[in-house]
Amino acid sequence: MDTDHVDRLRREGRIVIVGASLAGLTAAETLRAEDFEGSLTLIGDEQYEPYDRPPLSKAVLLGKASANHTELPRTRDIDAKWRLGVPASGLDMTAKRVRLADGDEVEYDRLLIATGVRARPWPKQAEAELDGVFVLRTRDDAAALYRHLEARPRRVLVIGAGFAGSEVASACRERGLEVTVAERAGAPLVGAVGGVVGAVSAGMHRDNGVDLRTGVTVTALEGDAAGRVRAAHLSDESVVETDLVVVSLGSLRNTEWLTGSGLGAGPRGIACDAGCRAFDISGIVTDDIFVAGDVARSPNALFGYQFLSLEHWGNAVAQARTAAHNMISPSSERRPHLYVPAFWSAQFGVNIKSVGVPSMGDQLMITQGSLAERRFVAVYGYQGRIIAAVSFDNARWLEFYAREIERGAPFPVEYPTVDRRPEGAQPMPSDFPDPSLPTHGPTVTLTGYSPADRRMVFTPARH
Protein backbone atom coordinates (compact mmCIF):
# COMPACT_ATOMS: atom_id res chain seq x y z
CA MET A 1 0.00 0.00 0.00
CA ASP A 2 1.68 3.22 -1.15
CA THR A 3 2.09 6.29 1.04
CA ASP A 4 -0.29 8.47 -1.02
CA HIS A 5 -3.02 5.87 -0.66
CA VAL A 6 -2.52 5.69 3.10
CA ASP A 7 -2.56 9.48 3.41
CA ARG A 8 -5.80 9.68 1.43
CA LEU A 9 -7.31 6.93 3.57
CA ARG A 10 -6.38 8.80 6.74
CA ARG A 11 -7.92 12.06 5.47
CA GLU A 12 -11.11 10.93 3.78
CA GLY A 13 -11.44 7.15 4.08
CA ARG A 14 -14.53 5.29 5.30
CA ILE A 15 -13.94 2.86 8.15
CA VAL A 16 -16.74 0.60 9.35
CA ILE A 17 -16.55 -1.38 12.58
CA VAL A 18 -19.02 -4.24 12.99
CA GLY A 19 -19.28 -4.93 16.70
CA ALA A 20 -20.00 -2.07 19.10
CA SER A 21 -18.48 -3.50 22.25
CA LEU A 22 -15.08 -3.34 23.99
CA ALA A 23 -12.95 -4.18 20.94
CA GLY A 24 -14.97 -1.98 18.61
CA LEU A 25 -14.86 1.03 20.90
CA THR A 26 -11.14 0.57 21.59
CA ALA A 27 -10.41 0.41 17.85
CA ALA A 28 -12.45 3.56 17.22
CA GLU A 29 -10.62 5.46 19.95
CA THR A 30 -7.26 4.25 18.61
CA LEU A 31 -8.11 5.38 15.09
CA ARG A 32 -8.92 8.88 16.27
CA ALA A 33 -5.88 8.94 18.56
CA GLU A 34 -3.73 8.13 15.50
CA ASP A 35 -5.25 11.05 13.58
CA PHE A 36 -7.73 9.24 11.35
CA GLU A 37 -9.92 12.06 10.00
CA GLY A 38 -12.31 10.13 7.75
CA SER A 39 -15.78 8.79 8.51
CA LEU A 40 -16.26 6.18 11.19
CA THR A 41 -19.35 3.96 11.57
CA LEU A 42 -19.98 1.49 14.40
CA ILE A 43 -22.61 -1.22 13.91
CA GLY A 44 -23.98 -3.19 16.86
CA ASP A 45 -26.79 -5.70 17.24
CA GLU A 46 -27.67 -4.48 20.73
CA GLN A 47 -29.37 -1.15 21.30
CA TYR A 48 -26.78 -0.06 23.86
CA GLU A 49 -23.50 1.75 23.41
CA PRO A 50 -20.45 -0.28 24.57
CA TYR A 51 -20.64 -1.62 28.12
CA ASP A 52 -18.38 -3.66 30.39
CA ARG A 53 -19.20 -7.38 30.64
CA PRO A 54 -17.07 -8.68 33.58
CA PRO A 55 -19.31 -6.99 36.21
CA LEU A 56 -22.40 -8.75 34.83
CA SER A 57 -21.59 -12.09 36.48
CA LYS A 58 -20.20 -10.52 39.64
CA ALA A 59 -21.26 -7.09 40.94
CA VAL A 60 -24.57 -6.96 39.05
CA LEU A 61 -25.81 -10.34 40.35
CA LEU A 62 -24.87 -9.27 43.87
CA GLY A 63 -26.79 -6.01 43.55
CA LYS A 64 -23.59 -3.97 43.95
CA ALA A 65 -23.94 -2.47 40.48
CA SER A 66 -26.80 -1.92 38.07
CA ALA A 67 -26.69 -3.56 34.65
CA ASN A 68 -27.89 -0.21 33.29
CA HIS A 69 -24.76 1.54 34.56
CA THR A 70 -21.96 -0.59 33.17
CA GLU A 71 -21.04 1.69 30.27
CA LEU A 72 -17.40 1.60 29.24
CA PRO A 73 -15.53 4.82 29.99
CA ARG A 74 -14.51 6.90 26.96
CA THR A 75 -10.97 8.13 26.54
CA ARG A 76 -11.90 10.57 23.74
CA ASP A 77 -14.64 11.72 21.42
CA ILE A 78 -14.69 9.31 18.47
CA ASP A 79 -17.01 11.37 16.24
CA ALA A 80 -18.71 8.23 14.90
CA LYS A 81 -22.03 7.35 13.35
CA TRP A 82 -23.70 4.70 15.50
CA ARG A 83 -25.95 2.03 13.94
CA LEU A 84 -27.18 0.28 17.09
CA GLY A 85 -29.88 -2.35 17.44
CA VAL A 86 -29.42 -3.46 13.83
CA PRO A 87 -27.19 -6.52 13.29
CA ALA A 88 -25.04 -6.98 10.22
CA SER A 89 -26.56 -9.65 7.99
CA GLY A 90 -24.05 -10.02 5.17
CA LEU A 91 -20.81 -8.90 3.58
CA ASP A 92 -20.04 -8.16 -0.07
CA MET A 93 -16.26 -8.20 -0.24
CA THR A 94 -16.14 -7.21 -3.91
CA ALA A 95 -18.39 -4.16 -3.57
CA LYS A 96 -17.00 -3.42 -0.07
CA ARG A 97 -20.41 -3.23 1.55
CA VAL A 98 -21.84 -4.48 4.85
CA ARG A 99 -25.50 -5.48 4.63
CA LEU A 100 -27.72 -4.78 7.63
CA ALA A 101 -30.76 -6.68 8.84
CA ASP A 102 -33.00 -3.69 8.09
CA GLY A 103 -32.04 -3.84 4.40
CA ASP A 104 -29.60 -0.94 4.46
CA GLU A 105 -26.02 -1.22 3.27
CA VAL A 106 -22.90 0.55 4.51
CA GLU A 107 -19.88 1.05 2.26
CA TYR A 108 -16.34 0.91 3.55
CA ASP A 109 -12.72 1.37 2.54
CA ARG A 110 -11.51 -0.52 5.62
CA LEU A 111 -13.62 -2.92 7.69
CA LEU A 112 -12.98 -4.16 11.22
CA ILE A 113 -14.97 -7.17 12.39
CA ALA A 114 -15.33 -7.35 16.17
CA THR A 115 -18.61 -9.20 16.52
CA GLY A 116 -17.49 -11.23 19.54
CA VAL A 117 -19.38 -14.21 20.91
CA ARG A 118 -22.80 -15.01 22.34
CA ALA A 119 -23.85 -17.44 25.03
CA ARG A 120 -24.40 -21.00 23.88
CA PRO A 121 -28.11 -21.65 24.48
CA TRP A 122 -29.69 -24.74 25.98
CA PRO A 123 -29.86 -27.10 22.97
CA LYS A 124 -33.53 -28.06 23.34
CA GLN A 125 -35.48 -24.99 22.27
CA ALA A 126 -38.76 -25.81 24.00
CA GLU A 127 -36.91 -26.33 27.29
CA ALA A 128 -34.79 -23.23 26.75
CA GLU A 129 -38.00 -21.18 26.46
CA LEU A 130 -39.30 -22.27 29.88
CA ASP A 131 -39.77 -19.41 32.30
CA GLY A 132 -36.82 -19.42 34.71
CA VAL A 133 -34.17 -20.63 32.22
CA PHE A 134 -31.39 -18.10 31.55
CA VAL A 135 -28.07 -17.58 29.85
CA LEU A 136 -25.72 -14.80 30.90
CA ARG A 137 -23.86 -12.77 28.32
CA THR A 138 -25.57 -9.43 27.77
CA ARG A 139 -26.68 -6.52 29.88
CA ASP A 140 -30.32 -7.59 29.41
CA ASP A 141 -29.45 -11.16 30.47
CA ALA A 142 -27.88 -9.88 33.69
CA ALA A 143 -30.76 -7.54 34.50
CA ALA A 144 -33.35 -10.31 34.00
CA LEU A 145 -31.35 -12.84 36.03
CA TYR A 146 -30.88 -10.33 38.84
CA ARG A 147 -34.64 -9.72 39.03
CA HIS A 148 -35.29 -13.45 39.37
CA LEU A 149 -32.58 -13.85 42.03
CA GLU A 150 -34.26 -11.05 43.96
CA ALA A 151 -37.41 -13.19 44.05
CA ARG A 152 -35.50 -15.76 46.14
CA PRO A 153 -35.82 -18.97 44.09
CA ARG A 154 -35.91 -22.21 46.08
CA ARG A 155 -32.85 -23.60 44.30
CA VAL A 156 -30.68 -22.37 41.44
CA LEU A 157 -29.22 -24.92 39.02
CA VAL A 158 -26.10 -23.86 37.14
CA ILE A 159 -25.32 -26.04 34.12
CA GLY A 160 -21.58 -25.88 33.46
CA ALA A 161 -18.78 -25.08 35.89
CA GLY A 162 -16.48 -22.95 33.78
CA PHE A 163 -15.45 -19.52 35.00
CA ALA A 164 -18.81 -17.89 34.24
CA GLY A 165 -20.85 -20.72 35.78
CA SER A 166 -18.64 -20.77 38.88
CA GLU A 167 -19.00 -17.00 39.28
CA VAL A 168 -22.79 -17.32 39.09
CA ALA A 169 -22.73 -20.09 41.71
CA SER A 170 -20.49 -17.96 43.93
CA ALA A 171 -22.84 -14.96 43.65
CA CYS A 172 -25.86 -17.10 44.48
CA ARG A 173 -24.21 -18.52 47.59
CA GLU A 174 -23.16 -15.04 48.67
CA ARG A 175 -26.84 -14.10 48.41
CA GLY A 176 -27.75 -17.08 50.60
CA LEU A 177 -29.42 -19.07 47.83
CA GLU A 178 -29.31 -22.85 47.50
CA VAL A 179 -27.27 -23.84 44.43
CA THR A 180 -26.60 -27.02 42.49
CA VAL A 181 -23.88 -27.05 39.83
CA ALA A 182 -23.83 -29.80 37.19
CA GLU A 183 -20.55 -30.25 35.32
CA ARG A 184 -19.65 -32.79 32.66
CA ALA A 185 -15.96 -32.93 33.66
CA GLY A 186 -14.49 -34.20 36.91
CA ALA A 187 -14.16 -30.75 38.50
CA PRO A 188 -14.92 -27.08 37.81
CA LEU A 189 -12.61 -25.08 35.52
CA VAL A 190 -10.99 -28.25 34.18
CA GLY A 191 -11.01 -27.14 30.57
CA ALA A 192 -9.20 -23.91 31.45
CA VAL A 193 -6.73 -24.93 34.20
CA GLY A 194 -6.69 -28.75 34.27
CA GLY A 195 -7.69 -31.31 36.86
CA VAL A 196 -5.06 -30.53 39.52
CA VAL A 197 -6.13 -26.92 39.95
CA GLY A 198 -9.74 -27.83 39.16
CA ALA A 199 -9.78 -30.03 42.28
CA VAL A 200 -8.97 -26.93 44.35
CA SER A 201 -11.94 -25.17 42.77
CA ALA A 202 -14.17 -28.15 43.59
CA GLY A 203 -13.20 -27.83 47.24
CA MET A 204 -14.09 -24.14 47.15
CA HIS A 205 -17.54 -24.90 45.75
CA ARG A 206 -18.32 -27.56 48.34
CA ASP A 207 -16.90 -25.66 51.31
CA ASN A 208 -19.14 -22.75 50.37
CA GLY A 209 -22.27 -24.87 50.34
CA VAL A 210 -22.63 -25.60 46.62
CA ASP A 211 -24.20 -28.94 45.75
CA LEU A 212 -21.55 -29.78 43.13
CA ARG A 213 -22.32 -32.69 40.80
CA THR A 214 -19.40 -33.63 38.53
CA GLY A 215 -19.14 -36.23 35.81
CA VAL A 216 -22.78 -35.71 34.91
CA THR A 217 -24.78 -33.93 32.26
CA VAL A 218 -28.26 -32.49 32.35
CA THR A 219 -30.41 -34.56 30.01
CA ALA A 220 -33.69 -32.65 30.25
CA LEU A 221 -35.38 -29.66 31.86
CA GLU A 222 -38.95 -30.14 33.03
CA GLY A 223 -41.61 -27.45 33.21
CA ASP A 224 -44.92 -27.20 35.00
CA ALA A 225 -48.34 -26.54 33.48
CA ALA A 226 -47.67 -22.80 33.52
CA GLY A 227 -44.51 -23.19 31.48
CA ARG A 228 -42.13 -22.54 34.34
CA VAL A 229 -39.09 -24.74 34.95
CA ARG A 230 -39.48 -26.97 37.99
CA ALA A 231 -36.86 -29.75 37.69
CA ALA A 232 -33.80 -30.99 35.85
CA HIS A 233 -32.99 -34.59 35.00
CA LEU A 234 -29.32 -35.63 35.15
CA SER A 235 -27.45 -38.39 33.37
CA ASP A 236 -26.99 -40.31 36.62
CA GLU A 237 -30.82 -40.53 36.78
CA SER A 238 -31.03 -38.09 39.67
CA VAL A 239 -33.52 -35.21 39.61
CA VAL A 240 -32.83 -31.68 40.86
CA GLU A 241 -35.90 -29.68 41.91
CA THR A 242 -35.24 -26.13 40.77
CA ASP A 243 -37.11 -23.00 39.76
CA LEU A 244 -34.18 -21.12 38.21
CA VAL A 245 -31.64 -22.54 35.74
CA VAL A 246 -28.56 -20.74 34.44
CA VAL A 247 -27.15 -22.35 31.30
CA SER A 248 -23.39 -21.74 31.20
CA LEU A 249 -22.15 -23.94 28.38
CA GLY A 250 -19.59 -21.63 26.84
CA SER A 251 -20.00 -19.42 23.82
CA LEU A 252 -20.60 -19.32 20.09
CA ARG A 253 -18.70 -16.97 17.83
CA ASN A 254 -20.80 -14.56 15.84
CA THR A 255 -19.75 -15.44 12.31
CA GLU A 256 -22.97 -16.71 10.70
CA TRP A 257 -23.61 -13.37 9.01
CA LEU A 258 -20.43 -13.94 6.97
CA THR A 259 -21.69 -17.18 5.39
CA GLY A 260 -21.18 -17.03 1.66
CA SER A 261 -19.04 -13.88 1.85
CA GLY A 262 -15.80 -15.63 0.89
CA LEU A 263 -14.14 -14.75 4.18
CA GLY A 264 -12.39 -17.47 6.19
CA ALA A 265 -15.00 -17.55 8.95
CA GLY A 266 -16.36 -20.54 10.82
CA PRO A 267 -17.39 -21.88 14.24
CA ARG A 268 -13.93 -21.22 15.69
CA GLY A 269 -13.94 -17.60 14.58
CA ILE A 270 -12.36 -15.61 11.77
CA ALA A 271 -8.82 -16.55 10.84
CA CYS A 272 -6.38 -13.67 10.51
CA ASP A 273 -2.64 -13.07 10.39
CA ALA A 274 -0.62 -11.66 13.27
CA GLY A 275 -1.34 -8.19 11.92
CA CYS A 276 -5.11 -8.83 12.29
CA ARG A 277 -5.79 -8.99 8.55
CA ALA A 278 -8.53 -11.52 7.78
CA PHE A 279 -7.95 -14.54 5.53
CA ASP A 280 -10.34 -15.26 2.72
CA ILE A 281 -11.74 -18.74 2.14
CA SER A 282 -8.69 -19.64 0.04
CA GLY A 283 -6.27 -18.70 2.80
CA ILE A 284 -5.18 -15.49 1.07
CA VAL A 285 -4.81 -12.53 3.39
CA THR A 286 -7.07 -9.56 2.67
CA ASP A 287 -5.78 -6.02 2.90
CA ASP A 288 -8.96 -4.16 3.74
CA ILE A 289 -10.69 -6.43 6.30
CA PHE A 290 -9.34 -6.74 9.83
CA VAL A 291 -10.47 -8.75 12.87
CA ALA A 292 -10.16 -8.20 16.63
CA GLY A 293 -11.47 -9.52 19.93
CA ASP A 294 -13.24 -12.75 20.85
CA VAL A 295 -14.22 -13.56 17.27
CA ALA A 296 -10.63 -13.49 15.94
CA ARG A 297 -8.27 -16.45 15.76
CA SER A 298 -4.70 -15.52 15.05
CA PRO A 299 -1.24 -17.13 15.23
CA ASN A 300 0.96 -16.29 18.19
CA ALA A 301 4.71 -16.81 17.92
CA LEU A 302 5.00 -17.11 21.70
CA PHE A 303 2.93 -20.29 21.59
CA GLY A 304 4.38 -22.19 18.65
CA TYR A 305 2.38 -20.18 16.10
CA GLN A 306 -0.80 -21.84 17.33
CA PHE A 307 -3.93 -20.08 16.17
CA LEU A 308 -5.52 -18.79 19.38
CA SER A 309 -9.04 -17.63 20.03
CA LEU A 310 -9.10 -15.65 23.25
CA GLU A 311 -12.19 -14.64 25.19
CA HIS A 312 -10.23 -12.25 27.37
CA TRP A 313 -10.91 -8.60 28.16
CA GLY A 314 -7.24 -7.62 27.85
CA ASN A 315 -6.82 -9.37 24.51
CA ALA A 316 -9.82 -7.53 23.07
CA VAL A 317 -8.21 -4.21 23.99
CA ALA A 318 -4.71 -5.08 22.80
CA GLN A 319 -5.81 -6.68 19.52
CA ALA A 320 -8.19 -3.83 18.71
CA ARG A 321 -5.38 -1.32 19.15
CA THR A 322 -3.09 -3.31 16.87
CA ALA A 323 -5.80 -3.77 14.24
CA ALA A 324 -6.72 -0.08 14.26
CA HIS A 325 -3.09 0.98 13.93
CA ASN A 326 -2.48 -1.42 11.05
CA MET A 327 -5.66 -0.36 9.22
CA ILE A 328 -4.28 3.12 8.61
CA SER A 329 -0.55 2.39 8.39
CA PRO A 330 1.73 1.51 5.47
CA SER A 331 3.02 -2.05 5.43
CA SER A 332 6.42 -1.06 6.78
CA GLU A 333 4.85 0.40 9.93
CA ARG A 334 2.42 -2.37 10.75
CA ARG A 335 3.02 -4.39 13.88
CA PRO A 336 2.06 -7.89 15.08
CA HIS A 337 -0.36 -8.79 17.83
CA LEU A 338 1.88 -10.73 20.24
CA TYR A 339 -0.23 -10.77 23.36
CA VAL A 340 0.44 -12.94 26.39
CA PRO A 341 -3.09 -14.06 27.31
CA ALA A 342 -4.22 -12.90 30.75
CA PHE A 343 -7.43 -13.63 32.58
CA TRP A 344 -8.95 -13.07 36.01
CA SER A 345 -11.93 -14.22 38.02
CA ALA A 346 -13.27 -13.72 41.53
CA GLN A 347 -15.31 -16.49 43.14
CA PHE A 348 -15.98 -17.64 46.69
CA GLY A 349 -13.74 -14.88 48.00
CA VAL A 350 -10.71 -16.07 46.02
CA ASN A 351 -8.96 -14.02 43.35
CA ILE A 352 -7.95 -16.24 40.41
CA LYS A 353 -5.60 -14.97 37.71
CA SER A 354 -3.89 -16.56 34.74
CA VAL A 355 -1.21 -15.64 32.22
CA GLY A 356 -0.23 -17.63 29.14
CA VAL A 357 -2.10 -20.65 27.82
CA PRO A 358 -2.54 -23.21 30.62
CA SER A 359 -4.39 -25.64 28.37
CA MET A 360 -1.17 -26.14 26.35
CA GLY A 361 0.65 -27.32 29.47
CA ASP A 362 1.05 -31.06 29.94
CA GLN A 363 2.77 -30.64 33.33
CA LEU A 364 2.67 -28.15 36.19
CA MET A 365 4.61 -27.26 39.30
CA ILE A 366 3.39 -25.44 42.40
CA THR A 367 6.20 -22.93 42.58
CA GLN A 368 4.76 -20.82 45.40
CA GLY A 369 2.31 -21.52 48.19
CA SER A 370 0.19 -24.64 48.59
CA LEU A 371 -2.82 -26.23 46.90
CA ALA A 372 -4.15 -27.23 50.32
CA GLU A 373 -4.12 -23.60 51.48
CA ARG A 374 -5.75 -22.42 48.21
CA ARG A 375 -3.08 -19.76 47.95
CA PHE A 376 -0.52 -20.67 45.31
CA VAL A 377 1.04 -20.19 41.89
CA ALA A 378 0.91 -23.12 39.47
CA VAL A 379 3.39 -22.90 36.58
CA TYR A 380 2.59 -24.92 33.45
CA GLY A 381 5.21 -26.44 31.14
CA TYR A 382 5.17 -27.62 27.56
CA GLN A 383 8.10 -29.09 25.62
CA GLY A 384 10.65 -27.86 28.15
CA ARG A 385 9.51 -24.26 28.53
CA ILE A 386 7.15 -22.27 30.73
CA ILE A 387 3.87 -21.79 28.91
CA ALA A 388 1.50 -20.40 31.59
CA ALA A 389 0.94 -19.61 35.25
CA VAL A 390 -2.24 -19.62 37.34
CA SER A 391 -2.53 -18.01 40.76
CA PHE A 392 -5.10 -18.37 43.53
CA ASP A 393 -4.92 -15.37 45.88
CA ASN A 394 -1.26 -14.90 44.92
CA ALA A 395 -1.25 -12.64 41.87
CA ARG A 396 1.66 -10.39 42.75
CA TRP A 397 4.15 -12.64 40.93
CA LEU A 398 2.23 -13.15 37.69
CA GLU A 399 3.94 -10.27 35.94
CA PHE A 400 7.23 -12.05 36.58
CA TYR A 401 5.89 -15.28 35.10
CA ALA A 402 4.51 -13.40 32.08
CA ARG A 403 8.06 -12.26 31.36
CA GLU A 404 9.27 -15.83 31.82
CA ILE A 405 6.76 -16.97 29.20
CA GLU A 406 7.88 -14.25 26.79
CA ARG A 407 11.55 -15.24 27.08
CA GLY A 408 10.80 -18.97 26.80
CA ALA A 409 12.18 -19.77 30.26
CA PRO A 410 12.92 -23.48 30.83
CA PHE A 411 10.56 -25.89 32.55
CA PRO A 412 10.79 -27.54 35.12
CA VAL A 413 11.35 -24.46 37.27
CA GLU A 414 14.52 -25.18 39.24
CA TYR A 415 15.37 -21.75 40.63
CA PRO A 416 14.23 -20.79 44.14
CA THR A 417 11.02 -18.79 44.49
CA VAL A 418 9.32 -17.07 47.39
CA ASP A 419 7.34 -19.52 49.58
CA ARG A 420 8.47 -22.62 47.65
CA ARG A 421 7.20 -25.77 49.37
CA PRO A 422 8.49 -29.37 49.09
CA GLU A 423 5.30 -30.36 47.21
CA GLY A 424 6.35 -28.06 44.39
CA ALA A 425 9.76 -29.64 43.83
CA GLN A 426 8.66 -32.02 41.06
CA PRO A 427 6.42 -31.56 38.02
CA MET A 428 3.13 -33.41 37.90
CA PRO A 429 0.65 -34.03 35.05
CA SER A 430 -1.67 -31.05 34.69
CA ASP A 431 -4.54 -33.47 34.04
CA PHE A 432 -6.44 -31.79 31.25
CA PRO A 433 -9.37 -33.82 29.89
CA ASP A 434 -9.36 -35.44 26.50
CA PRO A 435 -9.61 -32.46 24.12
CA SER A 436 -12.08 -34.36 21.97
CA LEU A 437 -14.55 -34.18 24.89
CA PRO A 438 -15.93 -30.66 25.29
CA THR A 439 -15.91 -29.08 28.72
CA HIS A 440 -17.48 -25.87 29.87
CA GLY A 441 -14.43 -23.95 30.96
CA PRO A 442 -11.87 -23.05 28.29
CA THR A 443 -11.25 -19.37 27.71
CA VAL A 444 -8.49 -20.04 25.21
CA THR A 445 -9.14 -22.27 22.22
CA LEU A 446 -6.24 -23.83 20.39
CA THR A 447 -7.28 -24.29 16.82
CA GLY A 448 -4.52 -26.12 15.06
CA TYR A 449 -0.81 -26.47 14.30
CA SER A 450 0.45 -29.66 15.98
CA PRO A 451 -1.23 -33.02 15.32
CA ALA A 452 -0.60 -33.88 18.96
CA ASP A 453 -2.50 -30.84 20.18
CA ARG A 454 -6.10 -29.74 19.94
CA ARG A 455 -6.60 -29.83 16.25
CA MET A 456 -9.66 -28.79 14.31
CA VAL A 457 -10.50 -29.08 10.65
CA PHE A 458 -12.00 -25.94 9.21
CA THR A 459 -15.10 -26.75 7.19
CA PRO A 460 -16.64 -23.68 5.57
CA ALA A 461 -20.41 -23.34 5.71
CA ARG A 462 -22.06 -23.25 2.28
CA HIS A 463 -19.23 -21.47 0.48
**Is the predicted pLDDT of residue 458 greater than 70, yes or no?**
no
In which element (H, E) is residue 157 found? strand 156-159
- Quick check: 461 pLDDT over 90? no
The whole-number pLDDT of residue 73 equals: 93
Enter the pTM of the model. 0.90
Query: 114 to each of 91, 255, 296, 415, 461, how far by Cα in Å?
Result: 14, 10, 8, 42, 20
pLDDT at 205 over 70: yes
pLDDT average, residue stretch 186-202: 96
Q: What would the pLDDT profile of 90-138 be if each residue is shown by its tens digit?
A: 999 999 999 999 999 999 999 999 999 999 999 999 999 999 999 999 9
Residue 421: count of CB within 10 angstroms of its CB: 16
Reference 61, options 53, 51, 71; nearest CA is 53
Question: Dmax over Cα atoms in the chain, in whole Å?
Answer: 69
Q: List CB contacts of 69: < 8 A, sequence separation 6 or more.
A: none
Q: What is the pLDDT of residue 457?
A: 38
Mean pLDDT of 318-344: 95
Mean pLDDT (the chain, rounded): 92
- Is the pLDDT assigned to residue 435 strictly greater than 70? no
pLDDT in tens, 148-158: 999 999 999 99
Is 425 a residue whose pLDDT tops 90?
Answer: no
Residue 4 has what pLDDT?
85
Q: Tell me how far apart the alpha carbons of residues 400 and 349 are, in angstroms, rounded to a whole number.
A: 24
Per-residue confidence (pLDDT) for residue 306, from 0 to 100 = 86
Q: 59-87: per-residue pLDDT in tens?
A: 999 999 999 999 999 999 999 999 999 99
> For 166-190, what is the mean pLDDT?
97
Question: How far apart are alpha carbons 115 and 113 in whole angstroms?
Answer: 6
pLDDT for residue 36:
98
DSSP labels for 211-270? EEEES--EEEEEE-TTSBEEEEEETTS-EEE-SEEEE---EEES-GGGTTSSB-EETTEE
The CA–CA distances, whole Å, from 162 to 54, 174, 215, 424 equal 14, 18, 14, 26
Residues 427 and 411: beta-carbon distance below 8 Å: yes
Q: What pLDDT is stored for residue 447 in this prediction?
A: 45
pLDDT of amino acid 412: 96
453: confidence class by pLDDT, cuts 50, 70, 90: very low
Looking at residue 444, what is its pLDDT? 53
Residue that wins the pLDDT comparison between 180 and 433: 180
Give the pairing of strands 179-183 and 211-214: parallel
pLDDT of 269 over the 60 cut: yes
Q: What is the mean pLDDT of residues 356-362?
A: 94
Rounded to whole angstroms, the Cα distance separating 52 from 31 reads: 21
